[in-house]
Structure formats: structure tokens, C-alpha cells
Amino acid sequence: MPRGDGRLNHDLLPGEKGPQDACGVFGVWAPGEEVAKLTYFGLYALQHRGQESAGIAVSNGSQILVFKDMGLVSQVFDETSLSSLQGHIAVGHARYSTTGASVWENAQPIFRATAHGSIALGHNGNLVNTAELAEMVAALPNDNNSRSTRVAATNDTDLLTALLAAQVDDDGKPLTVEQAAHRVLPKAKGAFSLVFMDEHTLYAARDPQGIRPLVLGRLERGWVVASETAALDITGATFVREIEPGEFVAIDENGLRASRFAPARPRGCVFEYVYLARPDTDIAGRNVYLSRVEMGRRLAKESPVEADLVIATPESGTPAAIGYAEASGIPFGNGLVKNSYVGRTFIQPSQTIRQLGIRLKLNPLKDVIKGKRLVVVDDSIVRGNTQRALVRMLREAGAAEVHVRISSPPVKWPCFFGIDFATRAELIANGMTIEEIGASLGADSLAYISLGGMIEATTIAKPNLCRACFDGEYPVELPDPERLGKQLLETELAAGPAAPAAADAVRRP
């Protein structure tokens, strides 16, 4: 019988995929602490970043034990599994797939044997030179079918881990994990916030652009590395600083040491501020909630409208709706009630219930919105189906007017750095003007925040932000289209014997 994956997101229509999150990573070095439970609660705080699979690896100083499965953190782990994970170093991961299918083999942390022991690695982000990395893995020595070069998974993370595990010097002597990292990481292109470990040391690294967040925290008896500061808060760790772009950090019994594998060229993802990160997280010194409220304020100033009530599409649009109401003077209210416990289900709704669609997750407060001119604030529009259904539902509930306001600019370009948008052809903003989109939604008016207004709300300088999904300016040079894609390795594997070297890296026994 299939297991429900319990996905928690704000997709309101069955089958209507919005911007899917990146992954969440967590690592801890803390002798004397229950590191598996700390990691569990850290991942719990990062559950919004990935709900397909979860895993924890723990080292007791002599061996690494990995436990992972498909599903939410709370589904994968219980007291029994956590109690079996004894040690003083742990690495955890909550996954949403951006390269490779959502299958157990692609769940993380990825584990590999090395000449010195073993390595367990978790990755947030997405690499754009996966095909090139696969060719590098295919070229690795494969003496006696060495496990270190077998690739069972079909994701960029497994390829990266294989390269880290199999590096040798000019004389053929195996490199340590730390030495290998300084050789391999400069060859990885794209977004990567990594937390990994061997039997004795916790490691962390962030790509030179710092596209995905990664922070360092201090425990009374150890250290924590996590995707977001909210995960530090839940585990009682004190924020120390961000892991810098292009920085490599190692933590062991001798303390913390930091070095650089590449110069920093900061281009943090602006969509973290719009939607991805938790509102109680700080990124680059800026609180995410305050950024979203400010986006709403600027949106109100850029696109005012006469209305009676501002409501949000719960919950992602709430901070911006509060900001819009504050700047416009229009009251903010709760016009929609969300059922937070409805995820995807293997129980297919009847035709009658399917026709209700969005009501599975949202229900309007009719007495609040009847006869009112509404401003409905959301964070983004991808295909537009959700907003179209929402506008129709509000009108059926008696709304006099429905004005849609979006706290990010039109999404026109795909992301190759850890957000799984719809394809470019599916993005509604590519084929229609804003006026045409508004008409398609059935709204009385539609307006997006300007690119400049959104950026100013983050307080981060424009050159230090990746805005590629909005303006098409990618911070890392992309390979040819045929060497990109979520199912790149599966596609090449399916191509059979004539497939290029990347597929050979996957097929290798």
C-alpha cells in the first residue's frame, strides 16, 4: 500500500504545482549531546524546504550510520530510529527533488566509502554542470568495482559525493575529505550549500555566489550549521554568522577552521525573501518577514486601488497583505480560512468534490467578504490556475470586486539553482501581458510589484541578488539546454548504450 508523503505546501488546487522549495540541510558537532534528536528538530524547522524525503547520518567516531526514507521528517523518524543513531556528529537533510526523481535512491544524506573511512553529505541547491560531473565520475579509476565510484542515484549530489570520496594526489595517494573538497568544489557550478561529515569532522561549504542560505550557530557544547536561522532557534543554538560564499568550514575536536576554495561573488536568491524561507529567518542580516511586509507596502504605493478590505492567500501572502493594508489604509482582514492539514492524498475525490477544487484547502468567510471590494495579495503567479479559481470562489461568495496584487514581479524564466518552477512555456507571464493575465484570472485588476521595489524591500544591493527568474540574468553561465534538466541523468540512462559518458557514470556497476 503506498505511503502518503504528507506534503505541506500552499498549493491550493490538486495537481497545480506552484514554486517548489529547495532542500533543507542541518549539521551538528556536539559531544555529549543527543545529536540525532537535535538534527530531527532542526529538520522539523526546515520542513518547508523539502517534503519528499528525510534522512539523518550520525558518527560515533568510528563509523557512520545513515537512516533515511521517503516522507516528512515526522513520518520517517520515531523514538526508536532516533535512539539507534548514537554519536557526536550528525548531518540531516529534507529533500525536494530539483535534479533526479523523487525516489529512495535519491534521498539524502548520500553515503560513500572513502580510502580513509566514509562520507555522508547533504546538499541544498542545484548544480548546472551535472553532465560534466558525471563525465568526471565516469573517468575515475574503478579498480575492482570500487564502491566509491558506483552511482546508483540519479542526482547531482551523488556525483559530487563520488568525486569527493575518490580523489587521489599525483602519486595516487588518497586525499582526505578536506583535501578533496578544495579540489572538487571549485569544479562544481551552480548553487550548493553543503553540510557533510566523515567519522571525525563536520564540514560545510557554500558556492561562490551564495545562492542558497547557510548559517553557523553555537551550542554550549558544540556547533550547528543549518539552511536557516529558524533551525538554530529551535535547537537552542546562538547565531554566529553566515557561511560566506566560496567558504569551506571544518569543525572537529580542535575547534572550527575556515578557508576559501573560491573568491566570493555574492548573488543570493531573491526568491528566498519572497517565498522560500520561513518568515522568522534572517538572511544576509535582513529578516524575511520584514522584507515581505515592506514588499506589500511598496506594492500598495506602486499599485493603489479603492477597496474595502485587504486579504491574503494564506499563508504565503499574509506578510505582504499586512504591509499593503498598512500603506494603503485599507483594513486587513481574514477573508479565507485554510485547512492546514490537507496535503496530497491517495484517496481520489469524487467528481463532485473535485469540482469544488480549491475548497479542499480554502473556504471563504462569506459574511466578511460579501459586498466588499477586495484586494487579494499573493506572493507569486506561476500558471495562474490557483488565482483564477480563487477569484471565482470569492465572487461566488459575494465579493463586489476582486483586485489581485502580487508581491513579486512576473515570473518569466526557469530557475536552475534549486527552485522547481513550471517550464518556461507554462509560465503565464511569458505569453500574456499583465492586463491579459488579469482578464484571464477574472480579476477586476491585477498588478505586480516592480523588480526595483521588490529588491529595495530586501535592503540587499541589486548586484548581490540573483533575480534570474524575473529578469533572465543568471549569475552562473549555463551549459547547452540538452545538458540541463531535472531528469538529465534518468534521460541519459534510458538512452541505452549509445548514451554519452554521463549515462555511463549512472550505469556503472
Per-residue H/E/C for 106-139: HCCCEEEEECCEEEEEEEECCECCHHHHHHHHHC
Residue 403 in this model has a pLDDT that exceeds 90: yes
In whole angstroms, give the CA distance from residue 71 to residue 490: 22
Average pLDDT over residues 320-349: 82
Residue 202 in this model has a pLDDT that exceeds 60: yes
In whole angstroms, give the CA distance from residue 508 to residue 385: 43
* pLDDT at residue 354, rounded to an integer: 61
In whole angstroms, give the CA distance from residue 8 to residue 50: 9
In whole angstroms, give the CA distance from residue 368 to residue 185: 55
Residue 342 in this model has a pLDDT that exceeds 70: no
What backbone torsions phi and psi does residue 277 show, to the nearest 5 degrees?
Answer: -75, 155
Is 264 strand, coil or helix?
Answer: coil
Residue 144 in this model has a pLDDT that exceeds 70: no
Percent of the chain with pLDDT over 70: 83
* pLDDT at residue 155, rounded to an integer: 76
Higher pLDDT, 455 or 485: 455
Average predicted confidence (pLDDT) for the chain = 87
In whole angstroms, give the CA distance from residue 394 to residue 368: 11
Residue 341 in this model has a pLDDT that exceeds 70: no
What b-and-e string marks burial along 72-90, b requiring 16 or more CB atoms within 10 Å of the CB?
A: bbebbbeeeebeebebbbb
19-23, 92-96, 196-200 — which is least confidently predicted? 19-23
- Say if residue 143 is exposed, middle or buried (CB neighbours under 10 Å; 0-12, 13-18, 19+): exposed
Percent of the chain with pLDDT over 90: 73
Confidence of residue 385 (pLDDT cuts 50, 70, 90): confident
Angle at 308 between CA 305 and CA 310, to 5 degrees: 75
Task: Name the strand (E) or helix (H) holding 314.
Answer: none
* pLDDT at residue 67, rounded to an integer: 96
* pLDDT at residue 481, rounded to an integer: 78
- Which residue in the list 23, 269, 466, 469 is annotated as catalytic? 23
Residue 1 in this model has a pLDDT that exceeds 80: no
Written as one letter, the residue type at 104 is: W
* pLDDT at residue 151, rounded to an integer: 53
Residue 344 in this model has a pLDDT that exceeds 60: no
Residue 8 in this model has a pLDDT that exceeds 60: no
Written as one letter, the residue type at 288 is: V
pLDDT tens-digit map of 239-296: 999 999 999 999 999 999 999 999 999 999 999 999 999 999 999 999 999 999 999 9
Cβ proximity of 216 and 231 under 8 Å: no
* pLDDT at residue 279, rounded to an integer: 96
Phi-psi label, residue 442: left if phi above 0, alpha if psi -120 to 50, beta otherwise:
left
In whole angstroms, give the CA distance from residue 226 to residue 43: 9
Question: Is 23 among the catalytic positions?
Answer: yes
* pLDDT at residue 419, rounded to an integer: 87
Higher pLDDT, 349 or 75: 75
Confidence of residue 51 (pLDDT cuts 50, 70, 90): confident
- Dihedral sign of CA atoms 434, 435, 440, 444 in order: positive
Q: Which three cell numbers stand for residue 84?
A: 539507534
* pLDDT at residue 405, rounded to an integer: 98
E strands present in 184-289: 193-197, 202-206, 215-219, 222-226, 238-242, 247-252, 255-260, 268-269, 282-283, 286-287
Average pLDDT over residues 179-189: 97
Who contacts 97 (Cβ-Cβ below 8 Å, separation ≥6)? 52, 106, 155, 420, 486
Tell me the CA distances in angstroms from 408 to 180, 200, 474, one per residue in order: 40, 44, 18
Q: What is the pTM of this model?
A: 0.88
Average pLDDT over residues 466-474: 96
* pLDDT at residue 484, rounded to an integer: 72
